[in-house]
A and B are shown apart, each in its own frame.
Chain A
Amino acid sequence: GDSVTQMEGPVTLSEEAFLTINCTYTATGYPSLFWYVQYPGEGLQLLLKATKADDKGSNKGFEATYRKETTSFHLEKGSVQVSDSAVYFCALSPTGNQFYFGTGTSLTVIP
């Protein structure tokens, strides 16, 4: 069945370090791919998305490219800030009705 696998955390980085959170997926057809972020005590917020192969989603300095050949959608940021500390979820939607989330990766950025 359709699923998402993302790297386990927690991840701890120093401020201004480079961030990569890996995400790979399994799906039939051509799903849409998403990254959501969850700040402490809050619900999830859409961070970025890509709806077809080779699309690049970007927002707030974060980027992810939809790679169909490697079934991946890795999240990257060139220089993280303390305010980026949160839990990040990779997700896919194969049909627009069902939505599958990864297990989440906790990121802590230290000054």
Chain B
Amino acid sequence: EAQVTQNPRYLITVTGKKLTVTCSQNMNHEYMSWYRQDPGLGLRQIYYSMNVEVTDKGDVPEGYKVSRKEKRNFPLILESPSPNQTSLYFCASSQLGSPVYGYTFGSGTRLTVV
């Protein structure tokens, strides 16, 4: 089954403790992206990647890092999480190097930073 898999689904952590949210897709998509979803704000793009070793900032990149060492994986790293990063996070991927053809989203990771 074609899918984007995120882990974990739920995570509670403390301020300052580094964490990684993993994202993997099995569709050989070039384009991958991370979003956060907050009430009243919709989805905002954090980082995206057009291909292996190519990443770029979205609208809200502060406090996040990403890497794209393999085509299928695009982990999101929070080096020193803060409470304002409490949110619902989605990873998404798309074929042909562009989201114009439609995203496939993961099921989401609900992160709480206390």
Count of chain A to chain B residue pairs whose CB atoms are closer than 8 Å in the complex: 52
B-side interface residues, number (CB < 8 Å): 25
- Chain A residues with CB under 8 Å of B108's CB are 42-43
By the criterion CB–CB under 8 Å, are B103 and A97 in contact? no
Report which of A42, A89, A93, A97 forms a contact with B43, defined as CB distance below 8 A: A89
Size bracket, chain A contacts: 20 to 34
Q: Which of A34, A36, A89, A97 has the most CB of B within 10 A?
A: A97
25 pairs of residues in contact across A and B, judged by CB atoms under 8 Å? A32-B100, A34-B102, A36-B103, A42-B108, A43-B4, A43-B90, A43-B92, A43-B108, A44-B43, A44-B92, A44-B103, A45-B105, A46-B103, A49-B102, A93-B98, A96-B99, A96-B100, A97-B48, A97-B98, A97-B99, A98-B45, A98-B59, A101-B35, A101-B43, A103-B40
Q: A46-B103, A97-B98 are in contact. List 7 more A-B contacts (CB 8 A).
A: A36-B103, A45-B105, A96-B99, A98-B45, A99-B99, A101-B42, A102-B42
Expressed in whole angstroms, the minimum distance between the Cβ of B68 and any Cβ of chain A is 15
- Chain B residues with CB under 8 Å of A45's CB are 105
CB closest chain-B residue, reference A104: B42
Cβ of B81 under 8 Å from chain A: no
